[in-house]
Structure 1
Amino acid sequence: MSKVTLIDYGAGNLLNVQRAFEHLGAQVEIATTPEQVLAADRLVFPGVGAFPQAMAELQARNLVEAIREAAPQKPFMGICLGMQMMFEQSEEFVLTPGLGLLPGQVKPLPHFSMTGEEMTIPHMGWAKIRPQGVSWQNTLLAGVAEENAFYFVHSYYAETTEPQDQLAVFDFGGHAITAAVQRDNLVGCQFHPEKSGAGGLRLIEAFLQI
């Protein structure tokens, strides 16, 4: 049985993520201390809320350095804000340093489409993801069908410095917005796999097999 540790910084409801992993037979533990993070077999970081507040909560619990130490050494998945916090910094409200696991910056979603129409923000709902110059073979998304849909809720997105880190994008008014990232054992999803039906469960299952 795969063991998965969810990082809990006191700001998010982990229950849906926990249920999705348990549905696939994983043994789920909740980490609230640095020691639990460092001892984990594989780490999942679901994030909700605002980037500055979430980083402050991690700092208050002494979890930042533990995540930075543990993440490169084991399978690590960031979900939604958890994916954004994998990057170097965010422009949400004030410029805030992130975990720095991947090079890049978190920016507001474009307020206007490529043809000048006003976009609805936050972006909420289902969207199709597609490769962006990177093959999905041997990645977390290898089993994702060409016709797919994943569930998103966000107002900011991650702009990757290294193009090869951007595993998938979705169309937002003609803009190609980061949907998923992967570098070695580090993976991140802007969408919520735990709310994305069978497709999301297949992705979680792929993470359990890394």
Structure 2
Amino acid sequence: MRWLRRTCVACAVALVAGCSGFGGDGAGARKNSVYQNERFQADETFSRLFDANVEDTCEAARRALLSQGYVINLAQPASITGSKRFQPEGEVHVEISFNIVCVPEAGGGKLATAYVSALQDRYTVKRSTNSTSLGVSAIGSISVPLSSTSESLVKVASETIPAGQFYDRFFALMQRLLKDQSGGTPESFGGGGGNP
């Protein structure tokens, strides 16, 4: 009877400890959730206001990508997509994909905001070997092993490049190309899509 009582008490203690540990892990998981880093603050913007119309703004974005070796996947008056591949290491491949949307702002169609986001996909080489044997009946039961190795790229990571200097350099190049296109001195404005 005493042994049974001790066993029940030990089981109860283990159950309480397990529940509290589970709650702690859950809280830790919630604390480290990716969405918690989404602050939606105006200083972390993926957009820039340009002193140009929608077509000229997106054309500057297209030219900026082309000048850096990007392949244009889609080119429309108000949207551009492009991509470029890199191989920073022997078996590591990286692809950066741009998505650009140009929208008109107040000002009689002479102002436009370019919304730009870039996605970085990381791939690694995966090898698989297929082995077979070939029987040669004319000279007995000799088998000649045949093997073939195939390689494929497997995506191992995908991330939107965060706002910062990467986009600042792209917007600066767009601004210079807009200036070249117009022959004048169009201006760009920091921040979101509001009026200057």
TM-score category of the 2 structures, normalised to the smaller one: under 0.3
Structure with the larger RCO, 1 or 2 (CA within 8 Å, 6+ apart)? 2
Structure with more of its chain in strand, by fraction: 2
Q: Which structure dedicates a bigger proportion of its chain to helix?
A: 2
Normalising to structure 1: TM-score of the pair?
0.20
**Rg larger for:** 2
